[in-house]
A = this chain, B = another copy of it.
Amino acid sequence: MVDEHARRATGRPKRADARRNEKALLDAAAAVFVAGGVDAPVRDIAAQAGVGMGTIYRHFPTRADLIIAVYRHQVEACAEAGPVLLASSSSPHAALAGWIDRFVDFLVTKHGLAGRMQSGQDGFDGLHDYFLDRLLPVCAELLEAAVAAGAVKAELTALELMRGVGNLCIGAEDPRYDARRLVGVLIAGLREAS
């Protein structure tokens, strides 16, 4: 396995300048995203990276691809936290709550990211699909465990739960709106009346 990231599907190695620019773009995008949110103009990102428009689109054909690349590590970490929490928590319900909390953490720290993964039909399909592919199985596992333990009602699908939580995180920049508290109430509403 020689330099995996420098190879493409063809197996041919990437050119050195291409690798340089990809890294520059990733760094620039990360910086611009925190400064102006994930809707920042493509031109700004290109400028910040010191490259042309063509370059950014060659490396990341859609904005979703770029966002995914920038946040991939954090998403992976969140996905991997699921099984760990399930094993280490005192109850399936606590595991679910803990994982959701972590998911909320991720969303609220990214300006407008939550808003962009809402419906998956404004051209951000890729983003939406990526999050779902990676995180939905994890969420489903936690949810099913909680249902099996009789801790929560089987009212919601995992997809609805994730989308609901994601939606509740929209607009969390406003100090008068505590997304985490809303999510807490939603989770509470899931509990089996005991």
Binding site for B on A (CB under 8 A): 115, 118-121, 155-157, 159-160, 163-164, 167-168, 170-171, 173-174, 176-178, 181-182, 184-191
Contact = CB atoms under 8 A, between A and B. Distances in A.
B171 A119 contact: yes
Given A160-B177, A160-B178, A176-B157, A118 B171 contact: yes
A174 B178 CA distance: 26
Contacts of A160: 176-178, 181-182
Contact of A189 (B163, B176, B190): B190
Given A115-B115, A188-B188, 16 more contacts: A155-B185, A156-B185, A157-B176, A159-B176, A159-B177, A160-B176, A160-B177, A160-B182, A163-B171, A164-B168, A164-B182, A167-B167, A170-B170, A184-B189, A185-B189, A188-B189
15 contacts: A115-B115, A118-B170, A119-B170, A120-B174, A155-B185, A156-B185, A159-B176, A160-B177, A160-B178, A160-B182, A163-B171, A163-B177, A167-B170, A185-B186, A186-B189
